[in-house]
Structure 1
């Protein structure tokens, strides 16, 4: 019975997503995933613009690397929605790297849960370089001009 209660307590809901993902990045500027890690399945598949990670231990190690690299990290949830087992989070993340000015990155995450309500897949979508380059005087405008000329 205790196992059933524990599984129910860690089943992801839209309210939990809104509450916990806001807290993840607002603990004195340093990210802390300890309160959301219980919602991830041991076989999590995580993908973003630069990496693909399989398995909970690798995912947890990635969160620890991000914490070490960042001097300041904050996330603002713009909106969150649910469609069946998929949760969609639109966000604005302000990140301060050790030697560079703070950058705002705009993105979206899709969290897919399994039948137990655990996150089995997470896909983050964002323009890493564009959002960082926008904060570098003159370079950001040149980068956007190049991208528009070549791709758009």
Structure 2
């Protein structure tokens, strides 16, 4: 796949990620191959049905989850998206918008769909430290490790 074609595919993928809703999850197969792999700090799954379940769970577990892609790097069939994941907890602090910073490494097929999707983000800093109780423990452990 030529980088120019990849850039167009990644632009479409980015628009879809940024406008993701429970209503357009059915479009997942237009962006992922049938046997695509998705891996993040909590999941390692293969196939459109399993990936769909991860996104469905996101909408059930969180208020107003959304991705904001801030940078894209495309080289041939490889792409890296730098993003912010914005949401509010349904439990704990339900008012404050939370932000997780991360990135996604995507491998594209010749037809511009994702065959491999790996998310990179620090669960300890970006999530655990924001939770009541556990957050205090994580911050204490971080201070002890750095002293």
TM interval, shorter chain, is 0.7 to 0.9
CA distance in 2, matches of 1:145, 1:113: 41
1:132 is aligned to 127
CA distance in 2, matches of 1:114, 1:132: 32
- Flag the structure with higher helix content: 2
* Unaligned segments of structure 1, at least 5 residues: 1-11
TM-score by length of 1: 0.74
SS in 2 for 1:105: strand
Q: Does 1:106 align with 2:105?
A: no
8 Å CA contact 2:82, 2:104 repeated in 1: yes
Runs ≥4 in structure 1, deviation > 3 angstroms? 30-37, 133-142
8 Å CA contact 2:58, 2:65 repeated in 1: no
Q: Does 1:84 align with 2:65?
A: no
Change over 3 Å in CA distance of 1:39–1:33 after alignment to 2 = same
Which of 138-147 and 101-110 deviates more? 138-147
* Unaligned segments of structure 2, at least 5 residues: 1-7
Change over 3 Å in CA distance of 1:136–1:58 after alignment to 2 = closer
8 Å CA contact 2:28, 2:48 repeated in 1: no
Which of 126-135 and 101-110 deviates more? 126-135
Find 2:48's aligned residue among 31, 51, 56: 56
Aligned length: 138
Q: Displacement of 1:78 after TM fit?
A: 1.1
Q: CA RMSD in A?
A: 2.8
Q: Does 1:41 align with 2:37?
A: no
Q: Does 1:13 align with 2:9?
A: yes
CA distance in 1, matches of 2:16, 2:54: 19
8 Å CA contact 1:76, 1:91 repeated in 2: yes
Find 2:89's aligned residue among 71, 81, 97: 97
